[in-house]
Structure 1
Amino acid sequence: MIDLRDAVERSAIAGEYVLGTLSPEDHAAVAAALVHDAALRAEVYAWQDRLLPLTRHSPAAEPAAHLWPRIEAALTRPALASAPSAPAAKAPWWQRLGLWQGVSAGALALSAVLMVVVLRLAPLAQTPPDAARYVAVLQSPDNRSTGWVVEVREGGLLRLVPTADAGSVPPGRVWQFWTKLEGAAGPTSLGLVPVGQTVEIPVSRLPGVGAQQLFEITLEPEGGSTIGRPTGPILFVGRSVML
């Protein structure tokens, strides 16, 4: 049973409501609460605005033919159809962008779900509640698969979280983590990346924190690059968005 009394839990539930990842019962409960809960409506609107920038990273695609019956069934599910409608002060993001752009962009959906998961698990007590927060989804340039999520708060910790099996490191090579602020002259190394492990780095080690900040993981010689910039191929790369 969802609990909308806790502010952190309410924010996470609102994010999942916007994504459409709640169960039919919880979705209906949130839709009913939206009618009279102004704080919840504000959270839903905020999540719409947070997630919209991610659409730039994932082009629209036509759903496979076998998905259409499932999509139609989901849209006509009785539990959803009978739920009270939320106030229409702001058009839902799936109406503003076109329904299938949001549904069919698999990378976008995965990235946004991961963002909600990171926000629910991150240690909120380590930074002031009003500190700016950023998330970057790192994807493979080759196949656009998501391998890592970066979550960082000003004055706190950067967390590099693996989201899938990113493969193995060839003998004699290592993964190295880099960042580059928008407009900066060059990248800054944030150290080596252990395979399959979450990495936490004090923000004080970063050259700064901001939107559109580049994060990437490259394949480097054992011990890491010795020239202060990447020398090997980029394995995963992404830019930050402010939440």
Structure 2
Amino acid sequence: MHEPWDLSDPGEREQAAGEYVLGTLDITQRAAFEALLAVSPELQRQVDDWREHLQPFNDQLTPVTPPPGLWPRIARAVGLGPRPWLQRLGLWQVLTAGFAVVALSFGVLWYQVPQGAVVPQGAVVPGDSVFVVLDEQQVPGWIISATQDGEMMVQAVQPSAMPAGMGGELWFIADGDPVSLGMLPARGHARMQVPEALRASLRTADLAVTIEPEKSAPHAAPSGAVIDHGKLIPMRNGTVSF
């Protein structure tokens, strides 16, 4: 998915589930999706539905072995150089023409940008760690991914219902001192930055989300109910280690 997710939109959550099953997500997107998948029964059901929906294409179409020289040409085109061990594995023999055609067809449909739409440049931030904010009913409200240099991307999923004029505020807590990183979006995504002086604590500090006035908590300190708190979970090789 080349555009930033709006997982607060049920249609885009469904789309993300389809792309996950098709295998078209990049490493960072897959890790963030799996973090949400682990805590969302609704998303688990959507993934199962997509697998059931797409399996007949694999069952009905005959596998086709690509030409022997295809992988070397692709490797040269992307600058990978020779990889003899891949040829010995016969990796391409496990791919079916049917699945490739289905993936390509869905990919073309989903990657089309409506005429006149503006796609923000660099809107997707590669993450090294992730935190999923859950409410009391264990419904995922936001996905927060962070890079090692302290840049965060917050993606709304199903934010908790807020009283009028209130919103969720994200706090970075190192050595017991909360520092506000900003108000979380009700829809779509937002960027935040951990102050440079706190970045060394990125992996050990707590994150907390509280209900505050939509222009931020008074006196620069948490004053409302806590929605959730926890730590960033490291991603390793594109997976989330729970």
**Superposed pair shares fold, TM > 0.5:** no
Q: Which has the higher contact order (CA 8 A, sep 6+)?
A: 2
Q: TM-score, normalised by structure 2?
A: 0.45
Q: TM-score, normalised by structure 1?
A: 0.45
